[in-house]
């Protein structure tokens, strides 16, 4: 089924992505290691114990655009985070201003249902964040001194529900 979906995606090409969260990957291919890649907008995921899956998002550190795994984090008896891996659009050599992708990897541990949230911060939605540190607050950022007198918008949050059967 996954192979058929991947072949269909290859045969039909990429869509416009207009209904997709910012920076979301739409790949559903199975990686050689047996890890399945889910589209970022697929917020309801079903897995079997021992199965690994990934979510890949676009980010650009030069514009202070970052993604974080934040509360609620998954119930560790059901799902565990296996870390993050970043890849630059410029290849092996980092280049100033180049964007990239961040891949979150998870492993299904035991039967049950759990939730977790990815937070998408940009320079207008979060203040005080770095690639390794989420902002201290997830409320809208303070108004920059050069901007209009209205506060920035709140950062995007995507909450996933994972069922392991």
SS3 call for 5: helix
pLDDT at 34: 75
pLDDT at 116: 96
SS3 call for 44: strand
Q: Is the pLDDT of residue 131 over 90?
A: no
Could you report the per-residue pLDDT of 34-92, keeping only the tens digit for each? 789 999 999 999 999 999 999 999 998 888 889 999 988 899 999 999 999 988 877 66
| DSSP state string for 96-120 | TT--EEEEEEEEE-SSEEEEEEEEE
Rounded distance between C-alpha atoms, residue 32 and residue 36, angstroms: 9
Could you report the per-residue pLDDT of 103-130, keeping only the tens digit for each? 999 999 999 999 999 999 988 888 777 7
Q: For 123-148, what is the mean pLDDT?
A: 61
**b/e sequence 147-159, b meaning 16+ C-beta within 10 Å:** eeeeebeebbebe
pLDDT at 105: 97
SS3 call for 27: coil
SS3 call for 63: helix
Q: Which phi-psi region, left, alpha or beta, contains residue 101 (left: φ > 0; alpha: ψ -120 to 50)?
A: beta
């Amino acid at each position: 089924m996954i192979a058929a979906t991947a072949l269909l995606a290859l045969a039909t090409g990429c869509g416009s992505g207009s209904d997709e969260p910012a920076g979301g990957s739409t790949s559903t291919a199975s990686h050689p290691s047996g890890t399945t890649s889910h589209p970022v907008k697929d917020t309801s995921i079903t897995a079997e114990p021992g199965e690994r899956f990934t979510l890949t998002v676009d980010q650009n550190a030069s514009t202070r655009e970052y993604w974080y795994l934040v509360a609620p984090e998954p119930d560790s008896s059901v799902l565990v985070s296996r870390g993050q891996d970043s890849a630059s659009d410029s290849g092996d050599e980092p280049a100033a201003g180049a964007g990239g992708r961040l891949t979150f990897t998870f492993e299904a541990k035991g039967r049950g249902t759990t939730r977790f949230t990815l937070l998408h911060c940009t320079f207008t939605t979060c203040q005080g964040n770095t690639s390794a540190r989420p902002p201290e607050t997830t409320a809208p950022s303070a108004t920059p001194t050069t901007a209009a007198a209205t506060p920035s918008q709140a950062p995007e949050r995507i909450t996933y529900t994972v069922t392991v059967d």
